[in-house]
Amino acid sequence: MNITRTFIDFFIDRGHVPTTGSTLIPRLGDPVLFTTSGMHPLTPYLEGEPHPLGRRLTGIQRCLRTTDLDEVGDSTHLTVFEMLGSWSLGDYGSSQTLKWGYELLTTGYGLDPKNLYVTVFGGDHQVPLDQESLRTWQKLGLPIELTTEDNWWSNGPTGPCGPDSEIFVWTGEGEPAGTPTTDDRWVEVWNHVMMRYRRLDDGSLEDLKQQNIDTGLGLDRLTMLLEGKDSVYETSQFEPWMRIIPQLWKLDERSQRIVIDHLRSSIVIIGDGVHPSNTGRGYVLRRLIRRMLTILWQDDESRTLSDVPVELFEHTQNHFHQGETVTLIRRILIDEEIRFGDLLDRGRKVLSHERFHKSLDDTDYEYLHETHGLPRELVDSLR
């Protein structure tokens, strides 16, 4: 089964038009560094601007999130990932999207309804319980958990927002137990956001002029569930990575996952036209590369990205439909590796000075950064 094709075809059959944009780089004038969700490129249309393709859309969007960086290395979190999405721009409502979600997961992908659990917004001092979603799931016979903060979606402190309903799949052995908030064997797979409000600067809410639906289904997590794997890294999407990297470098499981994630993510980011730098998008890329190299060099400083075979670059480029040449991406990564190695050497020499043979204060950190280009986290890692 082609998971992506099944998703897109399902929504095309229900009047949705596929969208084409999938780059990590937001539109001109957007203050956010990277696209963080499937709805991100659609913000003007969710605010009411007519979309040239109509009011029902579907597509796949690659996203990058640094908010989950500390969780990368577990079984489900990735820095760069793909989100399957469906959108109603002032067309149908929550009952329709939830029914379609249930139909696609059970009939289209063959998941057992007994292994599904849903959460619904339970209401707070500003917005009441999401009755329509609650009634829809009750009619479909699924177990429901009401939450507040976990079922409120926003893309920032202000702007479009609203209650959401999340669908979870049981990944444990035996009969399902607990609820999504009490047992982490329930893995969230598909979020349906009822985007009805706009959050203002003072924290108050106003109704959006059109009521929207925004759904996001994580491709990597769905693949893991459908293939019956225990982590996204064990799926077919990561096959060459899990075959090659363990042979190349001996690492513990968490370190191996972080290295694979950060290297794969770096390839995608460079493929979307970003180069390492000290500010903005380039700094996010630089942090990922240096975090990966720090892990690699902990046990063996002779490890180098020049040993990574072309197959992994080509596999990633093909999967994400990117046109950048492998030669260019390899060169950028290796140049950054050399630059980081030189910085580490310089840092060790500077920190060997007797002035720094003590607990460092903010003045020391500021001097090391301003004068020698050594950021605080790097200084701490060298001491």
Q: What is the pLDDT of residues 146-163, one digit of tens each?
A: 999 899 998 778 888 999
Diameter of the chain by CA atoms? 72
Q: How many percent of the chain have pLDDT more than 70? A: 100
Please state the separation of Cα 80 from the chain's center in Å: 5
Residue with token string 């108050």? 204
Which range has the worst mean pLDDT, 205-209, 221-225, 360-364?
360-364
Instruction: Give the per-residue pLDDT at 370.
Output: 80
The stretch 318-339 carries a mean pLDDT of 91
- Strands in 200-296 per DSSP E: 205-218
> Going by DSSP bridges, is the β-strand pair 80-89/205-218 parallel, antiparallel, or unpaired?
antiparallel
- pLDDT, one tens digit per residue, over 46-67 is 888 899 999 999 999 999 988 7
Buried b (16+ CB within 10 A) or exposed e, 142-152: bebbeeeebbb
Nearest to 238 by CA among 57, 33, 230: 230
3-class SS of residue 64: strand
Res 378: pLDDT: 76
User: Tokens 């917005």 appear where?
Assistant: 127
Sign of CA dihedral 315, 319, 325, 331: negative
Measured distance CA(162)–CA(373) in Å, rounded: 43
Q: Degrees (nearest 5) of the Cα angle 284, 286, 292?
A: 105
Q: What is the pLDDT of residues 227-283, one digit of tens each?
A: 999 999 999 999 999 999 999 999 999 999 999 999 999 999 999 999 999 889 999
CA 13 – CA 86 distance, rounded (Å) = 12
Tokens standing for residue 27: 């539109």
| 146 close to 120: Cβ distance less than 8 angstroms | yes
pLDDT band for 21, please (50, 70, 90 cuts). Answer: low
CA-CA distances (angstroms) from residue 118 to 83, 142, 183, 228?
19, 7, 13, 20
Bridge partners of 116?
A: 169
Residue 197, pLDDT score:
92
Bridge-partner residues for 83, per DSSP? 61, 218
Residues in the chain, total: 383
CA distance 135 to 72: 36
Residue 20 is predicted with a pLDDT of: 72
* Nearest residue to 148 via CA among 127, 133, 132: 127
Q: What is the mean pLDDT of residues 343-366?
A: 85
Handedness of CA 288, 293, 296, 297 (dihedral sign): negative
Given pLDDT bands bounded at 50, 70 and 90, which one contains residue 33? confident
| pTM summary value | 0.88
